[in-house]
Every structure is written in C-alpha cells, then in structure tokens.
Chain A
Amino acid sequence: MRIVAGLTPPSSGSCSVALDLAPGRIGFVFQDPTLMPWSTVTNNVLLPFRIAGHPGAEARERAVAAIEAVGLAGFQAAYPRELSGGMRMRVSIARALVTDPDLLLLDEPFAALDEITRLALNDDLLRLWEEKRPTILFVTHSVFESVYLSTRIAVMSARPGRICADLPVAVPRPRQRVTRSSPEYVAMCDMVSAALGKAMGTS
C-alpha cells in the first residue's frame, strides 16, 4: 500500500497506477486514526488543504461536508482525545475524503474497532463509495469484511507477499445487513476462505 502511494520504492519490479496521482488525488487511512492531537476535528480534516497553503472558504465548506458525511456533525470543535475510537476513525476517513480523491487507500482501518462499530463503518464506507465512486484499495484480515465491501478480492500470501488469487465478487448491490445472510454472500465467503487457506498453506 505504501508502494502504491509512492511512499516506499518497490524492492523489485514496478508499480503503475492508471490515475493522476498528484497530491490530494490519493487519500490514505491508516490502521490507527493518525490524527493530530493538538488540532480540532475541523483542523484535522482540513490538513490536506493546510499543507497546500491557507485553506479558503471553499476548503472549509468541503471540510464541513466531509465531517457531515461521516456522521460527525456537531463535533467540529472537539479534540481527538475527546472522541471514541470509532469517531476518531471517522475523522480519519473524512480527512482522506475531503480532497475528493480518485484513489483511496485503506490499510486495515477498522481492525482495532469493536464489531458493532466495524459493521456500522462498513455500511458508511459503502454509502460514501456509492456517492463519488472513487477507486478504493482496502486491506483487511477479515474475509467477511472483504466480501461485503468489494467488487474484486486479491488474496495475498505472507512472506513473500504475493497475490495468489484474484476473485471477482458477484454479490449483488446494494449490500445491506441482510446481504450477510444471503446464499451468494456465504458462498463467496467460503470461496475466499479456501483461497486464503491455500495461500497460507494450511489446507
């Protein structure tokens, strides 16, 4: 993921991204919220604009919209320490969305959250994706999460990290809570689990 973002050079081979990757065209969400504790929610979300220069009225409007989109209206002036883990993650997502990126990189963003918060954020992420349809590259250890969210799943092995399977996801949209008990979903989960087991060499 760091290679895709251009933060780390590949050790061998090459990486090409079929998108304009100017600053602000990529959004990155880490496993931790990675917020600045000394800044309010608004200022954290404004960070991409603050880095580029002094944020104007338009930038502020977009920040307000992004904060509302992740369901944090009313918390603009709060500091990260005053928020729960799930809310901090929402701020982090709002910050990644605020520049309206073409590519969104999410590195196990919900791994540290409890199940309820995680499911809620899964639904929010799907809704945000439906609105703007950016390309999202999402790393997760959860088979269920991957099937629920994706249009395509690449299964990776560990050490060396190789892509072992590339599976299209045929589960119909819109995906909702009931999707999780549909036969297509369950079948796809089985398939991905099998591919993952093969990649890990455990079955």
Chain B
Amino acid sequence: MNRLWLRLVAPITVGLLFIGLWALVVWFFAIKPYVLPSPAAVAQSLWNDGWSLLGSLWFTLEVTLLALAAAVLIGGLIAVLFSLSRLVEISFFPYVVILQVTPLIAIAPLLIIWVHVLSAAAGTADRPIIALLVCAWIVAFFPIVANTTVGLNSADRNLVALFRLYGASRWRTLWLLRMPTALPYFLTGVRISGGLALIGAVASEFVAGTGGAETGLAYRILEAQYRLLTARLFAALILLSLTGVIIYLVLDGLSRLMLRRWHESVAGEEER
C-alpha cells in the first residue's frame, strides 16, 4: 500500500518540479514564446485548440490502431508460416529484415504514388490513409514476427517428444503446444509494436503531409511549426505522448490479463 502510494507520488513530484523549473526558466530569461512557451501558454493552447486537436488525434489514432491490428494479424500469420516450414523461414526472413531496416521515410513517397495511381485506376477517390496505414504497418509488424517466431520454436523438446508419442498432428502440436509457448513472446512483440505503430503513423504523415479533410496530429504539428505557434506544437506533442502511454498501458494490461495465472513474469510478481 505504502509502496503504491510512493509509486504515484514520486513521479508526479518530479513532473511538477520539472514544470516549475520550466516556468521559472522561461520567466527568468524572458524567452520568446515561439522559442519556448511557458507551461501556462501550453495549457492555454490545450484548452483553446483541444477539441480541434482531438479531432486530428482521432485520425492519427485510427491509422495507428488499424496498422497495429494488421501487424498483429499478418505478423502472427507470417510467424506461424515460418514455424511450419524451415524452408519458408530461411527464404523469406531476409526480406522481412530488409523491409524493417529500410528507413520508412524513404518508402513512404513511393507508397503514396502507388496508392494514388491505384485509386485512380479503380476510379475511387484518393485515399492517402491507405498509404499511411501501409507505412505504419511496415514499422509495426517486425517485432511481432521476430518475437513470435522465436516463441513458436521454443517449445520444450520433451513436450515435443511427448506430442509425437501420442501421435499429434502438426496442427495439433501448433495449437496445443507451440502457440501457448509463443504467447508471452507474441505479447511482448505486440507491446513494442503498439508504440512503433504510433511512430510509424506520425512519421508517414509527415512525409505524406495530407491536408484537407483527413488531417492527423502530425500535420497539425507541421502547420504549427510553419506559423510559429509553438504552444500549439507543444499541446499536440503532449497529446501524442499521452496517446502513446495509453496504448502501452492498454496493451500491457491485456498482456498481464492473459498471462496472470501461469507466466512467471506476471504471476511471480508478488514474490519479487
């Protein structure tokens, strides 16, 4: 109980001290608001532009969550395929790595052209959100593939022998043994991917720079930069960080819920 209290109060105190120091520095050196706005000015901007920024946040969040969902589904599927066939794994894994290590910013313009061409060919309206989605997905799916593949291949060798002894099919072994073994690895991958999906969504939006109806928080940051509305830039930044924290907390909570009965990382926590 006492420790929980400390866990809340200690970081909040540090935060408040930091904000106080920030306000003091801005006031003492008379820093121009477009260089570093005071905390009060940022709060003011959050209050004034909050609703409009939240609208943009919703767009960014939509890209992030869709990309994460796609990363979980497709990443998990790729990992299962890798675990079923060693040949598939060694043939395709290098390309997964290439996709991962190529700087996203360098792929984004290409994807935007393709989506534009494709939607023109299909006769539909241009949907830049698809390009953003693909970009964010590329960033987010690798940790899930890498972690889950390791997990699927980490089954206890004696249990594998036991499954053979009882005549288990490959699918049965996958379902009853390899997948549960991989679950903690997979969930760690998902937690990393949650943060990466947000980064991917913001980074690709910077490149795409979409204006008009579909405007995300990244675009609002660029806009605030051009107009030297630094307080608004800070407000948008705070919303982004908060979103990242919430995504992490939700994924972490979900992972704890799934592992709490049996996995040492969660179930053994009270004893540590």
Q: Which residues of A contact B (CB under 8 A)?
A: 2, 5-7, 22-24, 26, 28, 30, 32, 34, 36-39, 47-48, 50-52, 79-81
B262 to A: closest C-beta gap in Å: 5
- Whether B165 lies near A23 (C-beta < 8 A) is yes
Q: A51-B176, A79-B261 are in contact. Are A34 and B162 (CB under 8 A)?
A: yes
Which B residues are CB-close (under 8 A) to A5?
A: 161, 165
B133 to A: closest C-beta gap in Å: 33
Q: Which residues of B contact A (CB under 8 A)?
A: 156, 158-159, 161-168, 172, 176-177, 180, 183, 261-264, 267-268
Roughly how many angstroms separate A38 CA and B167 CA in the complex, as a whole number? 21
Q: Can you name the residue of chain A whose Cβ is closest to the Cβ of B268?
A: A81
- Whether B166 lies near A38 (C-beta < 8 A) is no
Which A residues are CB-close (under 8 A) to B156?
A: 34
Partner of A47, one of B166, B183, B262: B166
Which A residues are CB-close (under 8 A) to B183?
A: 38
Question: What are some 30 contacts across the A-B interface (CB < 8 A)?
Answer: A5-B161, A7-B161, A7-B164, A23-B166, A24-B167, A26-B165, A28-B161, A28-B162, A28-B165, A30-B158, A30-B162, A32-B158, A34-B156, A37-B262, A38-B183, A39-B262, A47-B166, A50-B176, A51-B163, A51-B167, A51-B168, A51-B172, A51-B176, A52-B166, A52-B167, A79-B262, A79-B267, A80-B262, A81-B262, A81-B267
Roughly how many angstroms separate A14 CA and B166 CA in the complex, as a whole number? 22
Which B residues are CB-close (under 8 A) to A7?
A: 161, 164-165
Which A residues are CB-close (under 8 A) to B162?
A: 28, 30, 34, 47
Partner of B177, one of A36, A80, A81: A36
Roughly how many angstroms separate A36 CA and B263 CA in the complex, as a whole number? 11
Which B residues are CB-close (under 8 A) to A36?
A: 159, 177, 180
Roughly how many angstroms separate A44 CA and B168 CA in the complex, as a whole number? 15
Partner of A24, one of B166, B180, B262, B264: B166
Which B residues are CB-close (under 8 A) to A30?
A: 158, 162
A23 to B: closest C-beta gap in Å: 3
Which A residues are CB-close (under 8 A) to B176?
A: 47, 50-51
Roughly how many angstroms separate A39 CA and B263 CA in the complex, as a whole number? 11
Which B residues are CB-close (under 8 A) to A34?
A: 156, 158-159, 162
- Whether A37 lies near B167 (C-beta < 8 A) is no
Q: Can you name the residue of chain A whose Cβ is closest to the Cβ of B172?
A: A51
Q: Can you name the residue of chain B whose Cβ is closest to the Cβ of A26?
A: B165
A66 to B: closest C-beta gap in Å: 15
7 A-B pairs with the lowest CB-CB distances in the bound complex, closest first: A23-B167, A34-B158, A51-B168, A51-B166, A38-B180, A38-B262, A30-B158
